[in-house]
């Protein structure tokens, strides 16, 4: 309204002096309106996160911008905080702190927003060599399930996108794609007006935003820009045009006056003003916003008029900027450019007396976000289930179903209907240590077909809502603490094919089954008349068969009708009752150690043979699956360098493993000096590492099928009374393929620092993953240094050793406590072996057989110095690379 009145007055005033007076009034009015809008904004709806900022320092006001930044601790559940080094190139305070993500593939921020609103989303990254590795991280950045961009911090430090939110929850995810660790310094959201930028064709990824002025020393942003856009001042090497008068911006873009008061015209007034835009890909489509305001006082006979062209397409013809009012012109349809180059031309028309003028420009790449987010009701249900049972799973971040490669662990989804969001159809929460009743939240997964809640500690009855879930056809409730009877509605569901298994619930009884069977279990409900007929037919055949055979009833074994309490562990011996375990340990009197699985106690068999008893705790993250895997593996493997299983206990809720006792503890304790006494000699260390290698070689080549240990580390190498090495803890072990296949895909498991980066990145497991972990162990034995130590030049031991070797500094690599009491050739060869084992490429690592033979040669070399005559029977040496700089250590920058 005000702008219309002012324009009318301006058109009717004849005298130049009056016009100048009106320009002043217009400037004052625009100034008042702009600052009123700015005051009304007051950062309303802004989200400004200083990632990694300690909570006790939050919030703070940035002295340069006046923006209020807060810690990100309430917006993400993973990651570690760090601080950029002194070489950080950013002045803003929020680039001092950072958050990095060594665990998991996808780590996501969860931000509450308004649905259906255009948001400017900005992510900032200040690496600053915080980790001492001097390797710029590379990773992907996602908005929800869709990839925003591939981040390479050697060339790129900020990203900005304009995105219309699809729900009230916005997730910004950092996705690991290689060996480097994703990190972030700042994350900012600014709500925009929906009638400004065009996002109906897709999100707008900022290519650049320029304010044309000769002053190129500063960035214009908040509070000058109420939306906190960053305007980089840019000298186009043309003729500068400036004004001190205020310029109105009544359009929804609200370009700040600090931008609109400057502009450029071509030096050659007869030629077009050309701006070139470079794209990464010639298939990219662009959306360009030109901002114009007439900021020169025109004479009575002056005319400024020009065509606005994008790649020879006229966006606007015969355009004339409005006096001291900023307008925005843009291409309504996103447009491709030839060979990845866009030419933006402002072409003077024949009737124009003045050359074209431009004040500012914004250019965006229009992104294609192909994935629909998972059905929001399914997402809400999973969040409720996660909260109710306190589930902490690193993969449960971001969208549950998409992209499919990043789907949440233990979920299956339906992707058949491309026009509809994915739905969750299967949920497996078996062996997760869940307690309490079966929550109603499960019924909100309305497309769920299969639900597995077995091997937990659920109590209460079987809820009727499970039977009312129309799609649910398979329910596994085995091995919980549920009580009966089973609601009648489940028996009615037999006709519709429901399969319900509820074995192993000792307190459960069902009236429907107890009429014919007094045992306290319910047989699986398999509603099929055909199956009943098959059972009858089998019984008839058995009776006929028995009639034809000679009667030998007394010699036949008794048929046991009692159902097993858990899936049977394959063995015939070595099973102990829990009461026997209590006796063997003197009621768990002496503790040997404690870990994620529970507590290890000292015990003895017959009062003479010492044993170690590992008792699985009720809250163990290891769970019954790992317990079962370890028992079954140890019952079928026998090697002098693998810890021997004395027995196990699997009784009700009591799970225990009984091992041979290793009185000299684990290797880590000796390397760290925790057990006191003299440091291990080099010859003793070599003997231990050779024996460990032999144990691993047996798993890889002597077992059928071969096994991968998956958790080789110094705390899992036990030492008996003769300091003989025994590899222990096989709960994470897995079989790996032989023949044509080269790997098995499995969820990543292991210990940070020892974990094969290639396996971590790809989930593709083979025996070379153990080789990498063994290489780290070998480096520990040589150096007696921590695997990860943030205070040294290179925090990870492999990077640090490689760095020291490139300097030729072997003396500072080897444990100084050895006092040079070793054969240097033996140590150097051991280092070569270790560095070949930790090669980033699994294909370039040796096999454990090759490693074992090479280490035996090291031991022979060391024995020869001492006059020893022991021949370890080593074969010819495999070639070991000493080119540490090319494979292990990144080049110095």
Q: How confident is the model at residue 824 (pLDDT cuts 50, 70, 90)?
A: confident
Q: Is the pLDDT of residue 530 over 80?
A: no
Q: To the nearest whole number, what is the mean pLDDT of the chain?
A: 81
CA distance 156 to 586: 63
CA distance 493 to 498: 6
Stretch 529-539: mean pLDDT: 48
Burial label for 172, CB within 10 Å (0-12, 13-18, 19+), is buried
Stretch 107-136: mean pLDDT: 93
Pairing of strands 169-176, 106-112: antiparallel
In a domain, 734, yes or no: yes
User: What confidence score (pLDDT) does residue 547 get?
Assistant: 44
In a domain, 40, yes or no: no
Residues 882 and 735 in one domain: yes
> Which comes out higher in pLDDT, residue 714 or 516?
714
CA distance 556 to 437: 44
In a domain, 785, yes or no: yes
Residues 420 and 453 in one domain: yes
- Where is average pLDDT lowest: 71-80, 354-363, 429-438, 701-710? 701-710
Are 206 and 362 spatial neighbours (Cβ–Cβ below 8 Å)? yes
Catalytic residues: 711
Q: Is the pLDDT of residue 24 over 50?
A: no
Q: Is the pLDDT of residue 396 over 60?
A: yes
Q: How confident is the model at residue 650 (pLDDT cuts 50, 70, 90)?
A: confident
> Strands, E, within 755-881: which ranges?
764-765
Percent of the chain that is helix, strand, coil (3-state, to 5): 25, 25, 50
User: What confidence score (pLDDT) does residue 519 get?
Assistant: 35
> Which comes out higher in pLDDT, residue 748 or 68?
68
User: What confidence score (pLDDT) does residue 321 get?
Assistant: 95
874-883 pLDDT, tens per residue?
Answer: 333 333 333 3
Residues facing 457 on adjacent strands: 435
**Known binding positions:** 614
Residues facing 823 on adjacent strands: none
The number of helix segments (H) and strand segments (E) in the chain equals 18, 45
Q: Whose structure tokens read 């690379």? A: 881
CA distance 418 to 248: 47
Residues 182 and 242 in one domain: no
Q: Is the pLDDT of residue 87 over 70?
A: no
> Which comes out higher in pLDDT, residue 417 or 328?
328
**Known binding positions for ATP:** 614
Residues 807 and 700 in one domain: yes
User: What confidence score (pLDDT) does residue 71 get?
Assistant: 96
Residues 769 and 835 in one domain: yes
Reduced to 3 states (helix: H, G, I; strand: E, B; else coil), residue 91 is coil
User: What confidence score (pLDDT) does residue 214 get?
Assistant: 61
Q: Is the pLDDT of residue 554 over 60?
A: no
Q: Is the pLDDT of residue 108 over 70?
A: yes
Domain boundary among 343, 366, 389: 366
Beta carbons within 8 Å of 834's beta carbon, 6+ residues apart? 775, 776, 778, 779, 782, 801
In degrees, rounded to 5, the angle at the alpha carbon of residue 744 between the alpha carbons of residues 404 and 767 is: 140
Residues 651 and 735 in one domain: no
**Helix ranges (DSSP H) in 117-158:** none
> At 113, which CATH number?
2.60.120.430
Q: Is the pLDDT of residue 664 over 60?
A: yes
- Where is average pLDDT lowest: 25-29, 229-233, 599-603, 731-735? 25-29
Q: For residue 316, what are the domain limits?
A: 206-366
Q: How confident is the model at residue 18 (pLDDT cuts 50, 70, 90)?
A: very low
In a domain, 12, yes or no: no
Domain boundary among 530, 548, 568: 530
Are 666 and 718 spatial neighbours (Cβ–Cβ below 8 Å)? yes
H or E segment to which residue 830 belongs: helix 824-837
Q: Is the pLDDT of residue 216 over 50?
A: yes
Domain boundary among 660, 691, 726: 660
Q: At what angle do helices 824-837 and 797-806 cross, to 10 degrees?
A: 130
User: What confidence score (pLDDT) does residue 849 get?
Assistant: 93
> At 361, which CATH number?
2.60.120
User: What confidence score (pLDDT) does residue 294 get?
Assistant: 95
User: What confidence score (pLDDT) does residue 397 get?
Assistant: 92
Among 429, 427, 352, residue whose Cα is nearest residue 390: 429
Q: How confident is the model at residue 595 (pLDDT cuts 50, 70, 90)?
A: low
> At 847, which CATH number?
1.10.510.10
Among 839, 108, 79, residue whose Cα is nearest residue 408: 108
Q: How confident is the model at residue 35 (pLDDT cuts 50, 70, 90)?
A: very low
Stretch 693-705: mean pLDDT: 87
205: number of CA atoms within 13 Å, CB side? 18
User: What confidence score (pLDDT) does residue 26 get?
Assistant: 44
* Alpha carbon 509 to chain centroid, angstroms: 44
Stretch 645-671: mean pLDDT: 86
User: What confidence score (pLDDT) does residue 721 get?
Assistant: 87
In a domain, 549, yes or no: no
Are 828 and 810 spatial neighbours (Cβ–Cβ below 8 Å)? yes
Q: How confident is the model at residue 558 (pLDDT cuts 50, 70, 90)?
A: very low
Residues 460 and 502 in one domain: yes
Residues 882 and 821 in one domain: yes
User: What confidence score (pLDDT) does residue 205 get?
Assistant: 96
User: What confidence score (pLDDT) does residue 646 get?
Assistant: 84
Is the previous residue joined to 403 through a cis bond, with omega within 30 degrees of 0? yes
Q: Is the pLDDT of residue 453 over 60?
A: yes
Pairing of strands 654-660, 707-708: unpaired
Q: What is the DSSP string of 543-605?
A: HHHHHHS---GGGSPPPP-SPPSSSPPS-SS-B--HHHHHHHTTTT--EEEEETTEEEEEEEE
Tokens at residue 733, please?
């072990």
In a domain, 853, yes or no: yes
> At 480, which CATH number?
3.80.10.10
Residues 254 and 330 in one domain: yes
Q: Is the pLDDT of residue 144 over 70?
A: yes
In a domain, 277, yes or no: yes
Q: How confident is the model at residue 366 (pLDDT cuts 50, 70, 90)?
A: very high
* Alpha carbon 170 to chain centroid, angstroms: 17
Among 516, 627, 642, residue whose Cα is nearest residue 569: 627
Residues 639 and 683 in one domain: no
233-288 pLDDT, tens per residue?
Answer: 876 678 889 999 999 988 899 999 999 999 999 988 889 999 888 887 878 999 99
Pairing of strands 423-428, 450-452: parallel
User: What confidence score (pLDDT) does residue 188 get?
Assistant: 97
Neighbours of 397 (CB within 10 A): 23
Residues 647 and 702 in one domain: no
Q: How far apart are the first and last CA of the chain?
A: 59
User: What confidence score (pLDDT) does residue 38 get?
Assistant: 42
User: What confidence score (pLDDT) does residue 522 get?
Assistant: 39
Beta carbons within 8 Å of 693's beta carbon, 6+ residues apart? 774, 848, 851, 852, 855
Q: Is the pLDDT of residue 572 over 60?
A: no
Residues 218 and 163 in one domain: no
User: What confidence score (pLDDT) does residue 862 get?
Assistant: 83
Domain count, the chain: 5
Is the previous residue joined to 648 through a cis bond, with omega within 30 degrees of 0? no
User: What confidence score (pLDDT) does residue 89 get?
Assistant: 58
User: What confidence score (pLDDT) does residue 459 get?
Assistant: 95
Q: Is the pLDDT of residue 557 over 50?
A: no
In a domain, 373, yes or no: no
Q: Is the dihedral of CA 783, 786, 792, 797 positive or negative?
A: positive
């Amino acid at each position: 309204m005000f702008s219309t009145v002012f324009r009318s007055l301006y058109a009717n005033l004849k005298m130049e002096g009056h016009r100048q007076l009106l320009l002043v009034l217009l400037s004052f009015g625009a100034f008042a309106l702009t600052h009123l809008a700015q005051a009304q904004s007051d950062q309303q709806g802004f989200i400004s996160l200083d990632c990694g900022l300690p909570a006790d320092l939050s919030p703070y006001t940035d002295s340069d911008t006046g923006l209020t930044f807060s810690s990100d601790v309430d917006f993400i559940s993973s990651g570690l905080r760090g601080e950029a080094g002194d070489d950080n190139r950013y002045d803003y305070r929020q680039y001092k702190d950072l958050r990095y993500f060594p665990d998991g593939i996808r780590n996501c921020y969860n931000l509450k927003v308004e649905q259906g609103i255009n948001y400017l989303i900005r992510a900032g990254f200040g690496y600053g060599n915080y980790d001492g590795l001097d390797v710029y991280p590379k990773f992907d950045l996602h908005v929800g399930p869709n990839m925003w961009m591939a981040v390479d911090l050697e060339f790129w430090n900020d990203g900005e996108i304009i995105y219309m939110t699809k729900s009230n929850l916005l997730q910004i995810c950092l996705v690991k794609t290689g060996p480097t660790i994703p990190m972030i310094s700042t994350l900012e959201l600014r709500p925009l007006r929906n009638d400004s930028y065009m996002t109906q064709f897709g999100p707008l990824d900022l290519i650049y935003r320029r304010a044309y002025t000769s002053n190129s020393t500063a960035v214009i942003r908040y509070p000058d820009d109420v939306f906190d856009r960053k305007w980089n001042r840019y000298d186009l090497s043309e003729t500068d045009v400036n004004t001190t008068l205020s310029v109105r911006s009544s359009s929804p873009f609200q370009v700040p006056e600090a931008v609109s008061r400057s502009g450029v015209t071509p030096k050659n007034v007869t030629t077009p003003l050309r701006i070139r835009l470079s794209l990464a890909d010639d298939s990219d489509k662009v959306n360009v916003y030109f901002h114009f305001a007439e900021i020169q006082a025109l004479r009575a006979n002056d005319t400024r008029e020009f065509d606005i062209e994008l790649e020879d397409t006229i966006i606007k013809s015969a355009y004339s900027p409005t006096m001291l009012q900023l307008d925005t012109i843009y291409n309504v349809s996103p447009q491709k450019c030839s060979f990845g180059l866009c030419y933006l031309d402002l072409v003077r028309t024949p009737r124009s007396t003045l050359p074209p003028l431009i004040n500012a420009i914004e250019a965006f790449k229009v992104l294609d976000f192909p994935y629909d987010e998972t059905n929001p009701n399914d997402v809400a249900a999973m969040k409720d289930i996660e909260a109710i049972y306190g589930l902490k799973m690193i993969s449960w971040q971001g969208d549950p179903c998409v992209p499919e490669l990043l789907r949440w662990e233990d979920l299956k989804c339906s992707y058949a209907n491309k026009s509809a969001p994915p739905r969750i159809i299967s949920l497996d929460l078996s062996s997760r240590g869940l307690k309490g009743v079966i929550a109603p939240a499960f019924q909100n997964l309305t497309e769920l077909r299969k639900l597995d809640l077995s091997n937990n500690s659920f109590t209460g009855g079987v809820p009727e809502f499970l039977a009312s879930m129309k799609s649910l056809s398979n329910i596994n409730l085995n091995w919980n603490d549920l009580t009966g009877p089973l609601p009648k509605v489940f028996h009615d569901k037999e006709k519709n094919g429901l399969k319900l298994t509820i074995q192993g619930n000792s307190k459960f009884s069902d009236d429907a089954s107890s009429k014919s069977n007094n045992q306290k279990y319910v047989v699986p409900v398999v509603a099929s008349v055909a199956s009943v007929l098959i059972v009858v037919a089998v019984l008839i055949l058995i009776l006929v068969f028995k009639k034809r055979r000679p009667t030998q009833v007394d010699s036949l074994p008794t048929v046991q009708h009692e159902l097993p309490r858990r899936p049977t562990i394959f063995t015939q011996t070595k099973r102990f009752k829990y009461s026997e375990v209590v006796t063997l340990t003197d009621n768990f009197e002496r503790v040997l150690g404690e870990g994620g699985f529970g507590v290890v106690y000292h015990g003895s068999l017959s009062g003479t043979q010492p044993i170690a008893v590992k008792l699985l705790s009720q809250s163990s993250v290891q769970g019954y699956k790992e317990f079962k895997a370890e028992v079954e593996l140890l019952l079928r493997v026998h090697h002098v360098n693998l810890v021997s299983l004395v027995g196990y206990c699997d009784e009700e809720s009591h799970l225990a493993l009984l091992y041979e006792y290793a009185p000299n503890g684990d290797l880590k304790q000796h390397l760290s000096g925790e057990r006191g006494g003299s440091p291990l000699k080099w010859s003793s260390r070599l003997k231990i590492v050779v024996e460990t290698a032999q144990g691993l070689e047996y798993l890889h080549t002597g077992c059928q099928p071969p096994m991968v240990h998956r958790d080789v580390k110094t705390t899992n190498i036990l030492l008996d009374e003769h300091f003989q090495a025994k590899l222990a803890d096989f709960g994470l072990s897995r079989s790996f393929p032989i023949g044509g296949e080269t790997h098995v895909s499995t969820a990543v498991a292991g210990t940070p620092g020892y974990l094969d980066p290639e396996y971590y990145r790809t989930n593709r497991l083979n025996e070379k993953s153990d080789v990498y972990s063994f290489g780290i162990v070998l480096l520990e034995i040589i150096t007696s240094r921590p695997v990860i130590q943030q205070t040294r030049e290179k925090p990870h031991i492999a990077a640090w050793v490689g760095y020291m070797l490139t300097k030729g500094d072997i003396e500072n690599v080897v444990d100084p406590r050895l006092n040079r009491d070793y054969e240097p050739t033996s140590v150097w060869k051991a280092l070569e072996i270790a560095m070949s084992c930790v090669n980033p490429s699994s294909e370039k690592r040796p096999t454990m057989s090759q490693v074992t033979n090479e280490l035996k040669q090291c031991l022979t070399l060391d024995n020869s110095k001492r006059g020893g005559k022991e021949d370890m029977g080593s074969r010819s040496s495999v070639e070991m690379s000493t080119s540490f700089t090319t494979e292990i250590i990144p080049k110095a920058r």
